[in-house]
Chain A
Amino acid sequence: MPFPGETKAGECETPVDVMEGTDVIPQYYDDVPLEDDYLIQVPELTMLEDAMHGEAEPEVVAEYKLRRAGRRIDADVLIVGGGISGMQAALDIADKGYRVVLLDKTSTIGGNMVKLDKTFPTNDCSICTSAPKMVEVSRHPNIRLMTYTEIQSLEGETGNFTAHVFRKSKYVDPEKCTGCDDCVPVCPVEVVSGFEEGLSRRKAIYIEFPQAVPIVYTIDYENCVGCGSCERVCEPGAISFLEKSEDIEVHVGSVIVATGYELFEPLEMRKEYGYGKYPNVITAMQFERLLSSFGPTEGKVKRPSDGQRPKSVAWIQCVGSRSKQLGFPYCSRVCCMYATKEAAIAKEADPDIDVSIFYMDLRAYGKDFQQYYDKAKDAGVEYIRARPSSVFENDDGSISIRYMDTHTREVKDRTVDLLVLSTAIIPSKENARLAGVLGIGVDESGFFETGSIMEDPIQSSRPGVFLAGCDQGPKDIPDSVAMASGAAAKAMAAIVDREKAEPAPLPVERQVTGETPRVGVFVCHCGKNIHGFLDTEAVAAYARDLPYVDFATDVMFACSEDTIKSIRDKVREEGLNRVIVAACSPVTHGGLFQDTLVEAGLNKYLFEFANIRQHCSWVHSGNRSTATAKARDLVRMAVHKSALLEPLTQEEVSVTPAVLIVGGGLAGMRTALALAEMHVRSYVVEKEPELGGILRRLHTLFPLDLEADQVIGPLADRVWNNEYIEVLTSSTLDEVDGFIGNFEARISTPLGERTIPFGTAVIASGFDEIDLTGRYGYGSSDRVMTQTELEERLKAGDLPPVRSVVMINCAGAMEPERPWCCRVGCGVSIKNARLLKERNPGADVHILYRDIRMFGKDEEEYFTDVIENKRVKIVRYGLDRAPEVSVDGDGNVMVRVHDEIYGDDLEIPADLVVLTAQTEGSVSVDRLMEMFKIPSGPGRFLIEAHAKIRPLDFATDGVYFCGSAHYPKNLADTIAQAEGAASRAAIPIMKGRLVLEGITASVDKETCVGCGLCVAACPYVAIDLQDGKAVVNNALCKGCGLCSATCRSGAIQQRGFNDNQILSMIKGALHEVV
């Protein structure tokens, strides 16, 4: 039904014209059909059902029986959900050699991440980092990708599950669809685009976004009027209204659920913020689409009412979160940072824009978050600490926000052109149904329930079914990715004894070295997509006369099954030893044609692409002769290069089947146990005499008040007694040699020196509290101690009764010298405050804080309970007026602090001052950096290969990390990371052999003088100087070519892109004849 007081669906037609004419973006929040409702009654099935009840023809009965019986797929792991978590889990398992079925209910994989513009705190382009992963998933031989598919039942048990999945017909043949988009302009039906968050429309035949995988159009049956226009224009004949939906039976050993999240819709609850009522109130995800360069406004922020560029934008935080009454009680974890990011990006794009964020606590708790937040403040993002009570619209469409200034207690109004609501991550509405289908539990909020939120965050309530990503609770991308890898590790236990997927045997590669180049050129029409705008026949004829070209032809669809076959045949018949396809893009189709060469017995590096569609016909569609001339040039360039192409070998190296784990704390132990479940041997090296790390010193653990000993004791026993794990305590790592697959460590143990070969390593070296001596009275009185020291006292039971306790959070943190947030301190302080209050009911307990950062599962709830029910007092202070601790001659301790909220100067006498000390990476990191060639950043925390999508890897292959070596974290996050690191570290080992990159660097020993410039430039530490010459380690080289560009003499060259090949293309581009 229409939103009260708003126009009905049909009346929304007008804004479309307005959009085209005057640049206004219409916004739809009423019930114009959004996406096709999933699981609609599928027409053919209905027809068949009907037929069965009547007097059906025998063939219909046979068909029906067949359909009901369905197809059967045997695989190892079923993954439900193809967002970033599902993709990561799928790749982790498939890379280990096991078969994965990956489902997504939408027509593409990618999930929510691809909707984002950039990602905090690195401002990485979101689609740029996800798209390669999507392509990798779709091309992986061990992954069966099924989009537009949903799970309907799951029976059986660990090791033996049977799932029924329903693959809905897209009515487009994926084998034939070329992704040309011809069908879209002719489709008469417009539907509000869910992908664009209702900011634009799509047709009934559509792809969600240009980089969708698979690039196959989908007819949304719900909205299709069946006019057949698309079918008439589709040249490859891909549209098939007869294509059938299928019920498929999938047999697997484990299941991973990665179905993601939804965002809070502030329509009923939180309607005081005007969403759905005022056009210029939008959600943060809508703002992401406005920022996105492939969004509805091409990355230019425009406000919906009039398409004008806003001069001021405000964000309201915690919309739908941190309030049981007005949404959900938990903290949604990502909103502070995404709002900061959106505001900072808006400010960067337009320095004159006013951006402000209304917040309660700014939860910049993660790695580099606080620094990102500080930078945003410096850049001019205004942070206002208030929870606005209401907003109203002005005549000019601007929005006024009413709030109470927490400093002056005044009620104020602020007027902005655009208001963005930072809506919370909430459980998918489908979770209840899914939980029923999957036989797993949901928690009180509606997220899937975990085995134990602290000890087993990945395990669902059903054995053999594991959780990854935001379906278990809100989290950011790296935490989701880490958890997905963790789920991949857990899913292995049930299938590890199965036979691995065997790659199909390939024909023997024909040796072409020494042969004169014999180039074959295939020029694709792509229906009218190329041929409609340039003369492909003329291009093929031109190619025929180029040097080394033995065969050239034009083809209707280069990627069609029959052309692929004809390419294979021509290679054999004509004795071709180089192949060029002039068609679309190597990014989407390069792999397909490379595979074709391999099938024809040629090295895949003897293939070259000429992109005459995306780079020519489509962008020069107005002038046939220039487009044809350009296509000729592009083909000529490819021919020049291809004559110089050489077959490249992808070397293989064996892998020592053992993992070295540095650090025997929680992270190291959980890594070892997860590896053991996968039957992978590991060595745990711990410098202390006992396993347990920092947890050994702790009393209880937030937020469940578990006793640390109860957690660590049994865990250590399991590690000591596991047949796959060898523990080396009181031992130090002295030296590491080698590279991925074949490392060797020298370790000093109490029993003498050991030399241990290993294939991969996991660094779990933990964190330290900083030394606060001389600050906050630390060191001047035994009544001033750190939280860890307090825990030790509590554990020892020798803490005398107290009457007044002051806890000082952020001691040494978030200040210029150490600008990061310690991430765990707020939780520790609130837990210990509660404990002290319970033991000393009459005592005054104060927590002095900068921001309360309770972001984890159950943390906000715990905090609220302590503040509301335990009468712990909290006082907010600012960095400029930090608390002072003084100790007088009699040993009396006094804490002075300025209360930032009430403006009071407080003096609190204390008989116990507890400092929540800043943390930093273990001191051992300095040595580890040298030994493993890994980098560290501020606070000695190690730096991952990619902050978002490779959070557990280093740029250096074969070395992974987890736990607080990455950044301090709580139990659940540490365990998820540890199990994730185990999965990452197990991949090379379970593969057994590593196939190395073919495009690598090679050194000409004669001309190399060993100046070391390439060594310095190489981002992967893949080059060494040996005896005055550069030596490339192919196991580490990624083939970027940076070394070649840096070398003055050209002694180091990138295979496949060497100077000669590039020069030949330059010459080929500029001269008709070379």
Chain B
Amino acid sequence: MPDASAKEAQVRDIARRWLASGEVRYVIGYAAGRGNVARAAFVRRAGDADRLIWNPTCVNNLTLFLREEMLRKLAKGEKPDPRPIGIVVKPCDSKTVVELVKEHIVDPARVRVIGLTCEGVCDPKKLVGTEVGPHAVTADTIADKCTVCRLHNPLMADEVVGDEVPETVEDDYSDVAEIEAMSPEERWAYWERQLSRCVRCYGCREVCPLCYCAECVFDREKPYRWNERTVQLPENLWYHAVRAMHLAGRCIDCGECERVCPMDIPIRKLNRYLEKKAKERYGVEAGRSAEDAPTFGSCDVDDPEEFIW
């Protein structure tokens, strides 16, 4: 594994250079967090570039903040600043950038990307109880999403940090396959157990870089409401099923939803299932290219339809 500290130095160098030249407004990167997970840092001055870090605790997807900036309404009297935003991304996060560009949320001219090669980061939950500090990515600590990730080099990066890593060729949907292998009754029992626990804190939605609707269907009150706020299985089921449909063909499996879930609901297993099906059926893959047609905004005469009468 390439030396994390060497990559960290490179990230700082690039950020410093961009900030010094004034070509970016600020750089969104990782800074040391309090616990086992790095936090987002917004570095505005070249002199602060050394606050940026890169290590296996950099699990979070910072594109959430990029998206916030892109959708932010200007404050009264604020002049639009045409300079791009710099952002540090892992390969998985870079797919989010692609997806956000595809969805017209991010204007590619308004973003400069520092892309890191990556072979996995740590799952903060697996680090609980271990000593805070630079952690090693081991079989015990690696985040689940990283074990099935195929992309190890960033897409759409203006500058790449780290040597090119061979990509994984084979898809690994073993987590999904486990559930598919169950009987329908077992599947229902599984999801009933999981979704009954949901407290509808909407953390999964809040952290998701692709949940950016101005008014979420789950919040809509007027002139009609789709769902009730009660924390009961039927409502929870509706919530998770609709959310999975909204992310179908879009989710790039950054795993943030699962990371923030206080109830440890395996949300990724829902999203990854639709990711798998969308790929199998329609050959679509989220975050592959900004030129791709959106899964639900396109169709093909030869799309399979075996369940249709």
Q: Which residues of A contact B (CB under 8 A)?
A: 1006-1017, 1025, 1028, 1046, 1048-1051, 1059-1060, 1063-1064
Contact = CB atoms under 8 A, between A and B. Distances in A.
B185 to A, nearest CB: 26
13 contacts: A1006-B214, A1011-B104, A1011-B212, A1015-B297, A1016-B293, A1016-B298, A1017-B297, A1049-B213, A1049-B215, A1049-B216, A1051-B213, A1051-B215, A1060-B224
Given A1009-B71, A1017-B296, A1063 B224 contact: yes
A1059 B224 contact: yes
Contacts of A1064: 224
Given A1007-B214, A1059-B224, 12 more contacts: A1008-B214, A1009-B71, A1009-B212, A1012-B294, A1013-B294, A1014-B297, A1016-B297, A1016-B298, A1048-B246, A1049-B220, A1050-B217, A1060-B224
A1028 B72 CA distance: 12
Nearest to A1010: B104
B215 A1013 contact: no
B186 interface: no
Nearest to B242: A1048
Contacts of B166: none
B103 interface: yes
A136 to B, nearest CB: 27
Interface string B227-253: 000000000000000000010000000
A1012 B293 CA distance: 11
Interface in B235-280: 246
B220 to A, nearest CB: 7
A449 to B, nearest CB: 42
Interface string B276-309: 0000000000000000011011100000000000
Given A1016-B297, A1046-B297, A1050-B220, A1007 B215 contact: yes
Nearest to B211: A1048
B82 interface: no
B294 A1007 contact: no
A1050 B225 CA distance: 11
Interface of B: 71, 103-105, 212-217, 220, 223-224, 226, 246, 293-294, 296-298
B253 to A, nearest CB: 19
A279 B103 CA distance: 62
A1048 B213 CA distance: 8
B204 to A, nearest CB: 15
Contacts of A1025: 104
B214 A1049 contact: yes
B296 A1009 contact: no
A1009 B224 contact: no
A1059 B226 CA distance: 9
Contact of A1028 (B104, B216, B298): B104
A1014 B71 CA distance: 18
Contact of B214 (A1014, A1016, A1051): A1051
A1006 B296 CA distance: 23
A425 B195 CA distance: 66
Nearest to A1013: B297
Question: What 8 pairs across the A-B complex have the smallest Cβ distances?
Answer: A1016-B297, A1049-B213, A1011-B103, A1060-B224, A1012-B104, A1007-B215, A1017-B297, A1007-B214
A1048 B214 CA distance: 10
A1063 B217 CA distance: 14
A1050 B104 CA distance: 18
A40 B212 CA distance: 73
A1012 B296 CA distance: 11
A151 to B, nearest CB: 44
Give the interface centre of B103, B220, B297 by most chain A CB atoms within 10 Å: B297
B215 A1006 contact: yes
Contacts of A1048: 213, 217, 246
Nearest to A1015: B297
A1046 B296 CA distance: 7
A1012 B103 contact: yes
A891 B277 CA distance: 61
Nearest to B216: A1049
A1025 B297 CA distance: 15
A1009 B223 CA distance: 19
B279 to A, nearest CB: 19
Contact of A1060 (B104, B213, B223): B223
Contacts of A1006: 214-215
Give the interface centre of A1013, A1017, A1064 by most chain B CB atoms within 10 Å: A1013
Nearest to B214: A1007
Given A1049-B215, A1050-B217, A1013 B224 contact: no
A362 to B, nearest CB: 24
Given A1048-B213, A1049-B216, A1016 B223 contact: no
Contacts of A1007: 213-215
A1016 B104 CA distance: 11
A477 B42 CA distance: 66
A931 B223 CA distance: 39
Nearest to A1014: B297
A1049 B217 contact: yes
A1010 B246 CA distance: 16
Contacts of A1050: 215, 217, 220
Contacts of B296: 1013, 1017, 1046
Nearest to B245: A1048
Contacts of A1051: 213-215
A63 to B, nearest CB: 59
B57 to A, nearest CB: 32
Given A1049-B213, A1050-B220, A1060-B224, A1009 B105 contact: yes
A140 B273 CA distance: 51
A946 to B, nearest CB: 15
Nearest to A1042: B297
Contacts of A1046: 296-297
Contacts of A1009: 71, 105, 212-214
B280 to A, nearest CB: 21
A1064 B223 CA distance: 11
Contact of B105 (A1008, A1011, A1059): A1011
A262 B212 CA distance: 62
A1046 B104 CA distance: 16
A1066 to B, nearest CB: 11
Contacts of B246: 1048
B105 A1016 contact: no
B103 A1013 contact: yes
Contact of B294 (A1016, A1049, A1060): A1016
Nearest to B222: A1060
Contacts of B224: 1059-1060, 1063-1064
B198 to A, nearest CB: 20
Contacts of B213: 1007, 1009, 1048-1049, 1051
B183 to A, nearest CB: 30
A955 to B, nearest CB: 14
A459 B215 CA distance: 61
Contacts of A1049: 213-217, 220
A846 to B, nearest CB: 41
Contacts of B293: 1016
Give the interface centre of A1009, A1014, A1060 by most chain B CB atoms within 10 Å: A1009
Nearest to B105: A1011
Nearest to B298: A1016
A536 to B, nearest CB: 32
A644 to B, nearest CB: 8
Nearest to A1008: B214
B82 to A, nearest CB: 16
A1012 B107 CA distance: 13
Contacts of B212: 1009, 1011
A720 B39 CA distance: 74
A1011 B102 CA distance: 8
B80 to A, nearest CB: 12
Nearest to B296: A1046
A1009 B73 CA distance: 11
Contacts of B216: 1049
